[in-house]
Amino acid sequence: MVILEFYFDDVRNGLYVEFSLEEDDDKFYRSVELSYSDIKFYSPVIISEEDLRNIDDEFIKDLLLEYFKENDLPEEKSL
């Protein structure tokens, strides 16, 4: 998984992530928006809203891996 872009929206309390998978072959990307409650539930570590301002790609990869164990992958979008 490659994280292309991400940001945490303080107003909506949501995390927006654009990423691609190895099977996407650098031709497609996918995007997902997670609410703060989703982040807390699927996070591999205990996290607060303040912590979300300092997250990195590795945290997001771990979060998405957990999230997609129970949820479908989003549709592919062309680059």
Sheet holding 28-35, edge to edge: 2-9, 14-20, 28-35, 77-78
Q: Provide the residue count of the chain.
A: 79
The SS3 of residue 57 is helix
Q: What per-residue confidence (pLDDT) applies to 38?
A: 94
- pLDDT tens over the chain, length 79 residues: 899 999 888 788 889 999 998 877 778 999 999 999 999 999 988 888 888 888 899 999 999 999 999 999 998 888 7
pTM metric for this prediction: 0.85
Q: Which domain holds residue 62?
A: 2-78
The tally of domains found in the chain comes to 1
Task: Give me the pLDDT at residue 47, please.
Answer: 86
Q: Token pair for residue 11?
A: 């107003």
